[in-house]
Amino acid sequence: MKALKGAYPLRLLSRVLRVPRSTLYYRPQDPPPEEAALRERLRALAAAWPRYGYRRLTALLRGKVSRWGRSGCAP
């Protein structure tokens, strides 16, 4: 794709590939550093509690859960 960008116009490439031109201009950005720290905490919790789903992990991450029962969690 990078080799074709210089040889052909982007408008033609996008039409042939059937993708929007904005896709050819898109540059992914690095996540902010605080998000990386949050991901690491979430991975650590997921490793410690492998059977927990995203709702329980989110509650643990926010520190809102004091106990778990059969019917859910209690704040």
Tens of pLDDT, residue by residue over 23-41, are 888 888 887 888 888 888 8
| Contact between 67 and 52 (Cβ < 8 Å) | no
Task: Give 55-63's long-range contacts (Cβ < 8 A, gap of 24+).
Answer: none
Both tokens of 15, joined, read 């039409």
The predicted structure's pLDDT at residue 46: 92
Q: pTM to 2 decimals? A: 0.49
Between 15 and 71, the higher pLDDT residue: 15
